[in-house]
Chain A
Amino acid sequence: MLSKADNDLLCQVGPGTPAGELLRRYWHPVAVAEDFSPEQRTKRVKVLGEELVLYLTDENTYGLVQEACAHRRVSLHYGFVEGCNIRCAYHGWLFDERGQCLEQPFEQENRRFRERVAIRAYRAREYRGIVFVYLGPDPAPVLPEWDVLYRRDGALKIFVEEDLQCNWLQPMENAVDTVHTYWLHGHTMRTRGLKGGEYYYRPIEKYSFERNEWGILKKRVYRNTATGELDPEKGHPLIFPNVLRLPEGPTQAMHWRVPADDTRMILIRASLVPDPPGQERQHDEPPTVIRVPRALNERGDHAMDTFPSQDRMAWETQGEIYDRSLENLGAEDKGIAMYRRLLREQIELVAAGQDPMALIRDPAKARVDFDVSTGQGRKEFVNQAY
């Protein structure tokens, strides 16, 4: 149970909020390269409560500026990209990648006025078909090259979910809720006669949570019902602050949960499917992008026939911002409590002017590998529910 003040502390992400300041220390994915083309150079993005426009420059890089033009607040989504700059479609004011106004075509040449005019601008970089943004102070940390993304030993798929109507913390707490998989996924799939939940539909003897340099490693110990033996998992991590690294059947996956604002969330997933033995090759092709709409049945309820639909049901029905003053936590929620404590601790670090955990400052350490559970990848459980 949290007080309203503590709930606000962890949930609110806008500029100047404590959690917002923490989250601004990390790179976040907000779009895919496939969103852009010579005909479509701009895309509106809302991230951490800020309404922004992401644009593809003539140099194949990305710019990220506030959506509203500094002149009369017209959307730069309709602007013209010129080199690495963007020009407002209304009166032609031109802004560079740093947000500085360069031209005001219908004003007399007044350098001092022009130089006073600027819009918010941030960094954006594309990596493996995903566009990441950084809204924090300089110097920006190194953009991590997560193993799921840099590896070339399998086909990479990027899933872009329709935005979720909930606060970002709800999915993140679910990431350290180890036993929800039994009912929400295992039992639901079974009752619907669907494959894919078998791995999770087994007795959980024990679970544990360990803090490490990247966040929280969660592990389960299952009971093998056939042999009676314990079947411990190697575990998989919540990467602080808002990423889940996990196995999904035979694939290696990452889920980024990025707050659009306090009540909406961007969800982008990456899945690497390693080639089967004997068929290995170097995969230099661009990733496949799959758009995942909200799955509803004919009654307008959550379809509940896939893991993403089941998760979405759980997260969205908690409410736009889950009221944690009404909850009753038990032993199974220890991971959630640990994650909240970690968040609060890291918020305090940032407020004290320090770097939070899981930032990379050394470019030589950009590549990050995780050794995660392979349980779901075992032959008897290979069923793709995602």
Chain B
Amino acid sequence: MGHLAPAFGEEFHLASDDEVLAVDFWSYLNARQARLPLGAEATPLWDLLEELERELEPLLDERTALGHREFLAATAQRWSAEAGRPALRREVRREVGAMLGEALASSAIKAVPGEDAAPATQGRNHAQQG
């Protein structure tokens, strides 16, 4: 574990809305990619993050009949249970699956009446302004 240091908890601002959480989590993975070192040694991790983002995209592109929480929970469970090879892929998928599971659990706790939703990324911000 620990391929995506620093700790997820320090960087990911939890949203109380599952739709926003989906965009934020996808953005978080993109940001992790953007910050990878330039050298070829980071390429396997780059490719693995790309793969994970693609698996979230049916939700973002509205290409799934599943609800946001249902889709994200199933995805987190699938990644967390990854048992395939190579080892790096297994470890990264499990690590990111745990992060997504943690985000879902925490956002469910946070989503109580009166609680402000965390600021979203991308379109949500623009939608308010544009």
Contacts and interface: CB of A to CB of B under 8 A. Distances in A.
Given A179-B122, A334-B30, A203 B39 contact: no
Interface residues of A, number: 33
Given A202-B126, A205-B122, A205-B123, A341 B34 contact: no
Contacts of A201: 130
Nearest to B31: A331
A206 B34 contact: no
Nearest to B121: A331
A322 to B, nearest CB: 15
B60 A337 contact: no
A201 B123 CA distance: 11
A348 B38 CA distance: 12
B104 to A, nearest CB: 19
B61 A203 contact: no
A61 B38 CA distance: 42
Contacts of B127: 203, 223, 225
Nearest to A10: B38
B123 A334 contact: no
Contacts of B77: none
A353 B107 CA distance: 53
A330 interface: yes
A132 interface: no
Report the contact-size class of chain B (Cβ under 8 Å from the partner): 20 to 34
Contacts of B40: 344-345, 348
A2 interface: yes
Contacts of A296: none
Contact of B33 (A204, A334, A344): A334
Interface string B57-96: 1001110000000000000000000000000000000000
A203 B126 contact: yes
Given A179-B122, A221-B61, A333 B34 contact: yes
B127 to A, nearest CB: 4
B35 A206 contact: no
Nearest to A210: B50
Contacts of A6: 38
B117 interface: no
B8 interface: no
Contacts of A230: 61-62
A71 interface: no
A230 to B, nearest CB: 6
A194 interface: no
Nearest to B62: A230
Contacts of B28: 331
Interface string B12-55: 00000000000100011111011110111001001000000000
28 contacts: A2-B38, A201-B130, A202-B130, A203-B124, A203-B126, A204-B122, A204-B123, A205-B123, A206-B60, A208-B57, A223-B123, A223-B127, A225-B130, A230-B61, A232-B61, A329-B34, A330-B27, A330-B34, A331-B27, A331-B28, A333-B31, A334-B31, A334-B33, A337-B34, A337-B36, A344-B38, A344-B39, A348-B40
